[in-house]
Amino acid sequence: MQPARRVRATVAILLSIILLAAACGDDGDEGVTASPDNNGAAGQDSTDGGCEGKSGEIKIGYVGTLSGPASFLGEAPLRGAELAVKELNDAGGVEGFTFSIVSQDDELDPAKGVAAAQRLVSQDQVDVVVGAAHSGVSQAMTEVTEQAGVPQISPLSALNPLTDPVKPYFFRFWNKDAVIADTLAEFSIENFDSVGLLYETTAFGQGGKDALTAAFEEHGEQLVAAEAFDLTAQDLTPQLSKLRSAGAEGIIVQSQGPQAALTARNLEQLGYDARIIGHPGLAQQGFPTLAQGAAEGSIVIDGLDRDKEATQEFIEAYEAEYGEEPFSFYPATGYDIVHLIGEALTNVDCDVDKLRDGMEAVDGFQGVVGRDSAEISYGSDDHDGHGADALIFKEIRDGQLVPFEG
Amino acid sequence: MRLKAVKRAAPTAREAVGMAVILLAAAAVPLLTTNTYYVRLATLVAIASVLASSLNLIYGYAGQISIGHVGFYAVGAYTTAVLMTRYDLGFWVPWLTAILLTTILGWVVGKPVLRLRHFYLAVATLGFGVVVYVVINRWNDVTGGPIGVLGIGRPSIFGTELVDSRAYYVFVVVVALMCLFVIHLLVTSSFGRTLRAIREGEVPVASLGIDPARQKLLAFTISAGFAGLAGGLFASLDRYIGPGSFHVEHSILLLAVLVVGGLGREMGAVAAALLLVLLPELVRAAGENQHLLYAIALLGATLFLPEGIVGFIARLARRVTGSPDRPLLAAAAAQHAERPSPMVSSAQRQGIDSELLSVSDLSVGFGAFLAIDDFDLLVHPGELVGLIGANGAGKSTFINAVTGLVPVRRGQIRFDGRSISGAPMHRIAAAGLIRTFQTTRLFSELTVEENLLVAAARHGTESEVSRLLRLVDLEDDASLAASSLPFGRRRLLELARALAAQPRLLLLDEPAAGLNEAETAKLGDVLLRLCDTGLSIVLVEHDLGLVLGVSDRVVAMGFGQKLAEGTPTEVVNSPAVIEAYLGTKRSAAERGSSDPPHNPNKKSTEQETQWPSSRATSAPPRETSSIASPKRS
Amino acid sequence: MNDLLQILIAGLTVGSVYALIALAFTLIYSATGVLNFAQGELAMLGAMLGVTILGDLSWAYVPGLIAVVVIAALIGAAYAEVVIKPLRRRRARLDIIIVATIAVSLLFRYGAERIWGTGEFAVPAPIKGSAVTFLGARINPQSFLVIGVTAVALAAVWIFLQRSTTGRTFRATAYNEQAATLLGISPARVVTLVLMLSAALSALGGLLFTPISFASAYIGLALGFSGIVAAIVGGLGNPAGAVVAGFGVGVIEAFAAYHVTGWQGAVVFGVLLIVLFARPSGIMPGRLALREG
């Protein structure tokens, strides 16, 4: 054969090999053993005492923002989760099952979140995915976890569409936008005559804006102005000037990054005495620290009630482990989720493959987050976590969060 | 644009090996692993190969920097995604629509943007990328804003949706290979050659009658279409897209890896894709230091692998095998007829009295400075007009003005009866007015042969190229890079290239500069023979012996004006010229010592030297070339 | 009307940083033909050094500023020696040089991330006191400092280039390197000098801006972006054009954020593109832009 024909023949042969390989390869796609539908009757029929005789390890895959701005979103829950894992393992695990965590960075980028989820599911073969905080990332990740049949629990994502319609494997731990927005709207309308909004141009920001606009309408009111900023913005004076012209006395800040502190500083520099009403994204140490005193008096939603006993115990343990008190509720989310997983496990007699069903069977879970009355119950058509009684209004005094007094 | 396989480079042994390696690797993936993560990576590599190839086409080959190229990728991805999720149209229709849309968008964006040069083009394309990103991020109703588009399906083949990651991988690989093959055809065709010439210099390309703007736009449009194609494949991969994947940062990174992979080489795009997808995976093991490691690796690559990875491997291969890359096929030898074919068809050979080029009242100025002042010139078919003058007299400016490189302030230029003043360079050249440049403007990175092929492509006269090379004694160097030629031979190459463009009037700007005596003599001979075939030549030269020896007519210029015109003898003896060259008017007796060069074939019987114009007086072409070397006065 | 002045001042304040970065960028281009994509990161380094020196070490403002600028100049010199000069010596292709600077920008960014961490930092404002009312607008006194110091720095650079011998040396080299060599000027030394000056200017910009805003390892990307685009649109190779365009970009950005909030990125580039099409060589194309890539 002539050389050129030889080349072409090789190409054809190789292509055929590829096609054959794909056709003959096993249909099973994912590397995880969990399957979408219920396995046989394994755990069902046995009348043994649930978890008797079973043991093993629950592998948790954690995806969060561990670098870049807003890294506190990923680091804090992880810390709480690791604390919980350590405590539980030291106590012998849950019904003989120990825990382990593998973490991945999503760099606040949905595409990277997807890759991280893929890695956790295929390579690390985790039993459950915890993440992400940022709504856009969580959303993207569901494509992976739904396909793989691995439960995904987001500690903080608030975007409404995540649970509407309910995705079989996605669970929300925290509040959703609709509830947060409603609470914020009610509070703002009560305490301020005119309210404006400042939001970031991300899924988190946009989702919040949509929810807030709807919530205000439902209360028969309106935001006087809604100004946007990019995550790279370093000066918010134009936006704040607009808000001032609109007469805003209270400004809801839908931000998770440094721009919250920037708002406080710019307000001070402008001599504009509007008060910041913060989405829970502001409940982080960086806010008062970066604002250098300008954050005093800002109102922030937190999820920790320091009068609650469980909360005090948690704070003590956290301080013993990390040398400082948690600033707000973020670490508690990770902490609670691990316990939540433990409870889900016992719900299905420690059949790890049915963890999802175990989650749906959670009823009245109470953890560190929220007031005494706050609890989580899931169902097959309800994958939402906490409600309004986990939202506690606080204000910044001396750089710390204290209960709101008006 | 011609896609003909004429003179298409045959696949070399090395290229075939490279291809085989790629195919084997591609085939190995689904066989070796069921791990969806790795399969996803491999699919990404295939998609990235197409994207990188698209950028390579416009940047690597045509030399037009497009920093916002991911913008087209984004439009392709979003068009596919939105049409699929909103209208439930499956994959194929949205994908094909996306490809069409990005192609059109490429045309729309390219038309204005390619008028810009260099860095301004970079900023404009960067701007395009930014605008696309912002629109995607803010147009909530259509694109879902920052939240993105979810639930994107996969293509269906014979009724089955390719849900399985390996099945999708195979599909993507097949598509990618087809795209790479098409791009391969493009870059190895005469279109690809023209693009590479444009990269070397747009002015010389235009001077050969090719419109660089049109070629660039075509390349840009095609490139955008392929980027959009890749985007559609990406949308289906994760079944989710969000603005985060299309930030301008990704465009810049794409550019960087393409350069490191090997710009302007086909394999370079594949190397770029591997770098883009796999390098982050490799450095992941470094944990917190991974990004830093990535940066160091990139920096190291630029410092130590200036030709890119692929170039480095090629050089290594050369050194290891000790031989240059040989074609797999023996180069098809073009059979030439030995008799020289006329440059100009007999139908175009007009009477010697009709005017081919007519320049009247020409004035060309730069600011307050008048470079050419009220200049007239006529050139007849088959005539060789010499144009002499001191440096700065305006000779090169004259050529520049006539060929449209500099604007004309006043005056009329007519070629073949039609006015050409103000016409764009390539249009003038296409009419048959071809020039060479004072400092050679060859396509340095193309081979000697390719330089001519570019010029010949427009006329379909690629088979003539060998003959032209033989004419200037460069046939043996046909496969050498033009930049490797010594100076004198470069000028000859430029002459040959100009001839390949089928000129009717050739404007030569100091073609003999840097040639030694023998070479100059040979050149003169060539010029005479060319004129015999009906070609007209305007020869600007400092080498008086050459000019005076071959010209039918000589025009002397000084300070932008015509000093004298006539036969070589007349001009050389004209008082104005002597004044300009020698300063003072000299007596007849003194003139003998200035020793003008003379032709040994003609006895000089008087003190006034006769300058035999080989054309006007004698009929048959001379057999031997013997223009004595001048003794410079 | 109050808002108009407010936005203008805000824009000029940010614009000062862009102007410094744009100037720094165009100076490097003039002297070396290199497009330095690491320009923004040099500003970031100035900001971060400020965090350490003015914040953690609590130096006084003026000595701290000088220290930061000097350290930045040294970084610039190192950059010249390790990366730029070797590439020029090898006559590397333009795109290789560009990619090298991109790699350096990543190096700076992630190096800073390793040194200072992923968080954001604030620097105490050197001018205490609240907003000043001026023509109905409440203006942050910091703005005056930023714009003022920038103006002084720009004037100093101008005097340097036009009047001093070294400055003239630089301009000669930018015009025609070969000729300059023949006159006994060492282009290599000019390159180092320019890199040092450029790094110092960028760092100054970053440092000035930090008290108004915040600093992190990641701010270089956005700053550099705007600055580089300003330099190109202002007419690459023309220092005056770069400065004008830098301020221009800042002002346009501010007004866009005010009027079409959320779309400011697109608007800025839209305006720039219009300018480019109206004047394809930039607003004020530099004589020094004769380098053909």
Domains annotated on chain B, with CATH: 13-319 (1.10.3470), 354-432+504-633 (3.40.50.300), 442-502 (no CATH)
Sign (positive/negative) of CA torsion B233, B234, B235, B238?
Answer: positive
CB of A123 within 8 A of CB of B41?
no
Q: What is the residue range of C110's domain? A: 2-290
CA distance A324 to A312: 13
CA distance A48 to A66: 43
Instruction: Kindly state the average pLDDT of the residues B215-240.
Output: 94
Q: Which tokens sit at B22? A: 């790629």
Q: What is the residue range of A134's domain? A: 53-176+307-388
The number of C-alpha atoms within 13 Å of A328 and in the hemisphere containing its C-beta is 30
Residue B623: CB atoms within 10 Å: 7
Instruction: Kindly state the average pLDDT of the residues B395-405.
Output: 89
For A69, the closest of C11, C138, C216 (CB atoms) is: C216
pLDDT at A34: 35
E strand or H helix at C85, and its extent? Answer: helix C85-89
Helix (H, G, I), strand (E, B) or coil at B419: strand
Whether A261 and A399 map to the same domain: the answer is yes
Cβ within 8 Å, pair C122-A261:
yes
CA distance A258 to chain B (A): 19
CB of B292 within 8 A of CB of B279?
no
pLDDT at A50: 66
Residue of higher predicted confidence among B126 and B32: B126
Long-range pairs for C157-164: beta carbons < 8 A, 24 or more residues apart: C157/C23, C157/C197, C157/C201, C157/C239, C158/C239, C161/C239
Judging contacts by C-beta atoms under 8 Å, the chain C residues touching residue A265 are 122, 212-213
Cβ within 8 Å, pair A71-C138:
no
CA distance C116 to C110: 10
- DSSP structure class, residue B628: P
Residue A98 forms part of a structural domain: yes
Whether B624 has a pLDDT exceeding 80, the answer reads no
Confidence of residue A8 (pLDDT cuts 50, 70, 90): low
The size of the A-B interface in CB pairs under 8 A is: 132
Buried/exposed A350-385: b ≥16 CB within 10 Å, e otherwise: bbbbbbbbbbbbbeebbbbbbbeebbbebeeeebbb
Cβ within 8 Å, pair B118-C262:
no
CA distance B602 to B592: 17
Which residue, among C7, C79, C48, C81, has the nearest Cα to C213 in the 3D structure? C48
> What does pLDDT average to over chain A?
86
Query: Which residue of C261, C264, C267 to mutate against A (max A Cβ within 10 Å)?
Result: C261
pLDDT at B332: 39
Torsion of CA B43, B45, B47, B51, to 10 degrees: 170
CATH code for the domain of C255: 1.10.3470
pLDDT at B20: 81
Summarize pLDDT for A298-342 with one digit per residue, the tens: 999 999 999 999 999 999 999 999 999 999 999 999 999 999 999
pLDDT at B67: 87
Residue A336 forms part of a structural domain: yes
Query: Which residue of C120, C138, C144 to mutate against A (max A Cβ within 10 Å)?
Result: C120
Cβ within 8 Å, pair A109-B238:
no
Whether A238 and A90 map to the same domain: the answer is no
Summarize pLDDT for A226-272 with one digit per residue, the tens: 999 988 888 899 999 999 999 999 999 998 888 999 999 889 888 88
Cβ within 8 Å, pair B289-C35:
no
Residue C178: CB atoms within 10 Å: 9
Residue of higher predicted confidence among A126 and A51: A126
Summarize pLDDT for A167-190 with one digit per residue, the tens: 999 999 999 989 999 999 999 999
pLDDT at A313: 94
> Which 103-162 residues of chain B touch chain C by CB within 8 A?
112, 115-120, 122-124, 126-127, 130-131, 133-135, 138
Considering its fold, how many domains does chain C have in total? 1
- Classify B240 in phi/psi space as left (phi over 0), alpha (psi -120 to 50) or beta: beta
- The subunits that touch chain A, with at least 3 C-beta pairs less than 8 Å apart, are B, C
Judging contacts by C-beta atoms under 8 Å, the chain A residues touching residue C219 are 232, 234
Residue A91 forms part of a structural domain: yes
Whether A171 and A207 map to the same domain: the answer is no
Whether A405 has a pLDDT exceeding 90, the answer reads no
Judging contacts by C-beta atoms under 8 Å, the chain B residues touching residue A111 are 238, 242, 244-245
Q: In this structure, which amino acid lies at residue B540?
A: V
Confidence of residue A26 (pLDDT cuts 50, 70, 90): very low
- DSSP structure class, residue C60: -
CA distance A351 to A204: 35
Residue A6 forms part of a structural domain: no
Judging contacts by C-beta atoms under 8 Å, the chain C residues touching residue A241 are 3, 6-7, 10, 258
Considering its fold, how many domains does chain A have in total? 2
Residue A77 forms part of a structural domain: yes
CATH code for the domain of A200: 3.40.50.2300
Residue of higher predicted confidence among A268 and B49: B49
Residue A28 forms part of a structural domain: no
E strand or H helix at A97, and its extent? Answer: strand A97-105
Whether B346 has a pLDDT exceeding 50, the answer reads no
Query: Which residue of C1, C6, C128, C139 to mutate against A (max A Cβ within 10 Å)?
Result: C6
> What does pLDDT average to over chain B?
82
User: What Å distances lie between residue B522 and B269, B492, B502, B633, C152, CA to CA?
Assistant: 45, 10, 21, 22, 66
Summarize pLDDT for A85-115 with one digit per residue, the tens: 999 999 988 888 999 999 999 988 888 898 8
Confidence of residue B269 (pLDDT cuts 50, 70, 90): very high
Q: Give phi and psi for A128, each to the nearest 5.
A: -150, 145
- DSSP structure class, residue B406: S
Whether A150 and A117 map to the same domain: the answer is yes
Confidence of residue A14 (pLDDT cuts 50, 70, 90): low
Whether A144 and A198 map to the same domain: the answer is no
Helix (H, G, I), strand (E, B) or coil at C137: strand
Whether A202 and A79 map to the same domain: the answer is no
Confidence of residue A11 (pLDDT cuts 50, 70, 90): low
DSSP per position, A318-373: HHHHHSS--SSSHHHHHHHHHHHHHHHHHHTTT-GGGHHHHHHT--SB--SSB-TT
Whether B117 has a pLDDT exceeding 80, the answer reads no
Residue B85: CB atoms within 10 Å: 18
CA distance C202 to chain B (A): 20
User: What Å distances lie between residue B40 and A215, A282, B169, CA to CA?
Assistant: 41, 37, 8
Judging contacts by C-beta atoms under 8 Å, the chain A residues touching residue B170 are 18-19, 22
pLDDT at A186: 94
Judging contacts by C-beta atoms under 8 Å, the chain B residues touching residue C97 are 302
Whether C291 has a pLDDT exceeding 80, the answer reads no
Region of poorest pLDDT, from B246-260, B313-327, B458-472, C80-94: B313-327
pLDDT at B7: 46
Residue A43 forms part of a structural domain: no
CA distance B321 to A285: 63
> Which 30-69 residues of chain B touch chain C by CB within 8 A?
59, 65
pLDDT at B121: 85
Whether B593 has a pLDDT exceeding 70, the answer reads no
For C138, the closest of A67, A229, A270 (CB atoms) is: A270
- DSSP structure class, residue A186: H
CB of B228 within 8 A of CB of B71?
no
Cβ within 8 Å, pair C214-A234:
yes
**With pLDDT > 90 as the criterion, what percentage of chain A qualifies?**
60
**With pLDDT > 70 as the criterion, what percentage of chain A qualifies?**
88
